[in-house]
Amino acid sequence: MAVETATEGLAPLMAFGLVGALGVGSQWLAWRLRMPAIVLMLGAGLLAGPVFGILDPARDFGPMLAPMISIAVAIILFEGGLTLNLHKLSDAANGVRRLVVVGAPVGWLLSTLTLRYGAGLSWESSAVFGGIMIVTGPTVIAPLLRTARLSRRPAQLLQWEAIVNDPIGALAAVLAFEVVLVMQTATTVGAAAWDLILGITAATALGFAMGYGLAEAFRRGKVPEYMKVPLLFVSVLGIFAASDAVLHESGLLAVTIAGLVIANANLPSYTELLRFKEHATVLLVSGVFILLAAGLNFEGVMALNWRALLFVALVILVARPLTVMIALAGSGVPLREQLLLAMTGPRGVVLVAVAGLFGDRLVDLGYADAASIAPLAFALVAVTVVLHGFTLGPIARAMGLTGGDRPGVLIVGASSWTMGLAKALQNAEVPVLMTDPNHFRLTPARTAGIPTFSGDILSEAAEHRVELVSFATVVAGSDNDAYNTLVTTDLGPEFGRDNVFQVRHPKAESSRFQLPATLGGRPFGPDETFSGWDALFAQGWEFRVTNMTDEFGLDQWNEARPDGIAVGVITAQGAVQMLVDGPDLTVPPGARLVSVGPPDPTPTRKSDAT
């Protein structure tokens, strides 16, 4: 029965459902197993496609497959453009400029040489494929950065390079193909150059026009909130199709420029737009990778010889490192960050899709060796995805370019009791950062050696100076309940709703003052407001961290500290888990319990006891 299903194929609706389930399921499983999601998606697609024959995208989707992938890539690139805010680049701006202006042509040259002398392709096929290899894969970089938790600057460099160079790589392939076409046909050099210039100009103009037009319409209130995201989607599809009609693959440039313009328009609703687009991109990246792996032609891959392995090795060990080191020489980017970028060059969906397209076109022109371009592209994608998926995080941690092995706690608001929490966590070797808009309130923390940030944690200055990736939990404990709610609401999507906490509101029990579940964070600690916390610490209450063992567990702690209140657990791996009200508290041996309670009673002297 399974063989019959594989032969007849799936109905398109069933195929859609399977792709979605495999893609999102792989992402969730990767989160649970703490593995690179991109690797599991690749594996799931291979199992469903070539291995068991359940899913065959070309068979199940027919002529709609290519447009589906093209539209998905266009939306992914547009969302990538939406993240390219020039104001947030700060010290990474020069490095990004070098990676685009210098890195793209150098990468094209080195990739062409690698293909010619490593894979053994003709100069014509090498030049076309080499242009596509400028792309480092925004569809791959985003999941990798989410898993590796890189520091801000190397993450920005990798993200900007991937998104900006993606359309540049596609257009470089177009340029090389136009040159080959001139050599093979009666087309004149002038006509080919005119087509290329016209296409790039049209794509740039369309991108700017769409981005500027939508930004102005949103700013002036010409579009209602519920229509903004649908209008974005329709506009992206429209300019992508229009630009591609002028010059194939130029649509990628148009949508990227449109996203870049909107990202830098300083729109009030920008954050909401970006978050929705991020959710859509997670679905699209998952789906595209499943389709990519499921549609693999095993015969083409098996036909590759030892030169394919040489080609992949040369790309990873020679072409990519040389490109980065040449591009960033004298840029001011620290050497260890240059080395990390040099060792990180994953390729993704755009490479395979565009390589397959131009491979077929070159074969039609009489270049038989171009038939191996698509298998070579998939081999490069598979190796780099698996390699960088497993090595980026460990290498970055070894170089000190991540948020650290132990995600810390961000404490917002300086007071006596938040100071006590910060000291207890710091003594337990948990990274802590205390922030407050009032510089003088942070004086005791600075004196105690606790890291601080003076200013609004939601400000642009905080984005540049605070490595939020180093923290996994937020505790908003200022004396301003509205500010606590604002901080936890804004940081909730970034940290996860389950990881943002705030001190209780004085009137939270009143129906007139209760906030909806979409606002604020989870309640922190016992049923106390800020004033209640202050009163407890005025009486000498303090935070403690207690080691849990087989001999001294939760029952023994309850007997020793009958008035103590558990507020969190530090796992054996050093992760902090804040607790909310609930009777099912369990603390395994090896973990540490974070609690708050009254001071120890004055020890009774032996003479008094007798």
Instruction: Give pLDDT tens digits for 386-442.
Output: 888 888 888 988 888 876 667 789 999 999 999 999 999 999 989 999 999 988 999
Range of the domain at 413: 408-602
One domain, residues 185 and 255: yes
Give the domain CATH number at 475: 3.40.50.720
Q: Answer with the one of 357, 373, 398 that is the final residue of a domain.
A: 398
One domain, residues 304 and 359: yes
What is the predicted pLDDT for the residue at 606?
38
Is residue 83 a part of any domain in this protein? yes
Q: pLDDT at residue 110 above 90?
A: yes
One domain, residues 93 and 161: yes
One domain, residues 439 and 487: yes
Is residue 24 a part of any domain in this protein? no
One domain, residues 361 and 445: no
Q: pLDDT at residue 140 above 70?
A: yes
Q: Where are the alpha helices (DSSP H) in 416-570?
A: 416-427, 443-447, 460-465, 481-495, 530-538, 554-560
The stretch 299-310 carries a mean pLDDT of 80
Burial tier of 542 (Cβ tally within 10 Å: 0-12, 13-18, 19+): middle
| pLDDT range class, residue 335, cuts 50, 70, 90 | very high
What is the predicted pLDDT for the residue at 607?
34
Is residue 13 a part of any domain in this protein? no
What is the predicted pLDDT for the residue at 2?
39
Q: Residue 171 is encoded by which pair of tokens?
A: 């257009």
Tally of CB atoms within 10 A around 482: 10
One domain, residues 294 and 392: yes
Among 34, 55, 60, residue whose Cα is nearest residue 45: 55
Looking at the structure of the chain, the number of domains it has is 2
Most confident of 34-43, 172-181, 289-298, 452-461: 452-461
Strands 576-578 and 565-570 come out as antiparallel
Q: pLDDT at residue 114 above 90?
A: yes
Q: What share of the chain is helix, strand, coil (3-state, %, to 5)?
A: 65, 10, 25
What is the predicted pLDDT for the residue at 582?
53
Q: Answer with the one of 369, 398, 427 that is the final residue of a domain.
A: 398
One domain, residues 230 and 378: yes
| pLDDT range class, residue 278, cuts 50, 70, 90 | low
One domain, residues 127 and 208: yes
SS3 per-residue string spanning 49-73: HHHCCCCCHHHHHHHHHHHHHHHHH
Give the domain CATH number at 270: 1.20.1530.20
One domain, residues 480 and 536: yes
Q: Answer with the one of 368, 398, 428 that is the final residue of a domain.
A: 398
What is the predicted pLDDT for the residue at 513?
59
Among 428, 455, 438, 369, residue whose Cα is nearest residue 121: 369
Q: Residue 556 is encoded by which pair of tokens?
A: 């023994």
Which stretch of 20-29, 164-173, 569-578 has the lowest confidence by average pLDDT?
164-173
One domain, residues 415 and 393: no
One-letter identity of residue 58: A
| pLDDT range class, residue 6, cuts 50, 70, 90 | very low
Q: pLDDT at residue 60 above 60?
A: yes
Q: Mean pLDDT of all residues in the chain?
A: 82
One domain, residues 477 and 565: yes
One domain, residues 413 and 389: no
The stretch 366-375 carries a mean pLDDT of 86
